[in-house]
Structure 1
Amino acid sequence: MSKSNLHRLICALLLLAFGLVCGAGSSALAQSAATGGQIVGTVTDQQGAAVPNASVTVSNAATGLTQTLTTNDEGGFRAVSLAPGDYTVEVTASGFGKSTQTGYKVEVGSSLDANITLGVE
C-alpha cells in the first residue's frame, strides 16, 4: 500500500471514529433532555368559545408539586417539564364553575391533551 493510500485510509478511519463519537454524544444528550412530559389543552365555554385568563392548576398529589398557569387569548395552556406520575387539572375562571379532571398519567416524553369545557356558575 502506498504512503498516499495509507494516509487516506487513516484520515477516513479518523473521520468515521469522530462521527461515531459525536453521534453517540448527541443521542445521550437527547435522551437526558426528555425527563418528563407535558399536559396541553384549551379551556372553552359550553358554546365552544375560548376562555382567556382562566387559572389552570396542574398538580401531582404524590409529590405535592403544582404548576399554576393562565390561559392565553385562545384559551390555551401548556404545563411543561412535568415529572412522571399521575396529575389532576383544575380550572377556574370568573363567571364559570370550577372544573377538576383527574387521571392524567404523565410519562417521559409524553404530551397529554386536556381540553376542558367550563359551565356557567
Structure 2
Amino acid sequence: MNLAVNALQAMEGSSSGTLMIRLSSHPTHADCVLIQMTDTGRGIPPDVLPRIFEPFFTTRDEGTGIGLSVVKRIIEAHGGSLHCESEPGRGTSFSITIPRTRISERTDG
C-alpha cells in the first residue's frame, strides 16, 4: 500500500499520470513471484535514489521517512527483495520478488 500511495503522490498535479501494478511469475526464479509497480510521476533524482530505503530519510516536508524502509524490511523478512529504478521526469518502478508459498489446506472441524 505504501508504494502505491507514494506513486500517487509522485503523480500529483499530472492530468495523465498512470500507476501500473503487475503480478507475474519471476522470469529467472521459478520459485518466486514478481510484483512490479510503475508510475509515470516525476521520478527520483539520482542523488536521492541510493538513500530511499534509509530509515527517516525523506524529501517531503510532511514525510516521516519510515515507509520505504519498513516496506523493505517486511519484504526481506519474508525472504524477498525490493529494488527501485527511476528516471527523473519519466517515472519510477519498484520490483518486489518474493518466494512462492503453498496455501495450506484448511479443515473446519
Instruction: Pick the TM interval, shorter chain.
Output: under 0.3
Structure 2 length-normalised TM: 0.27
Q: Which has the higher strand share?
A: 1
Q: Which has the higher helix share?
A: 1
Structure 1 length-normalised TM: 0.25
Q: Highest CA radius of gyration, 1 or 2? A: 1
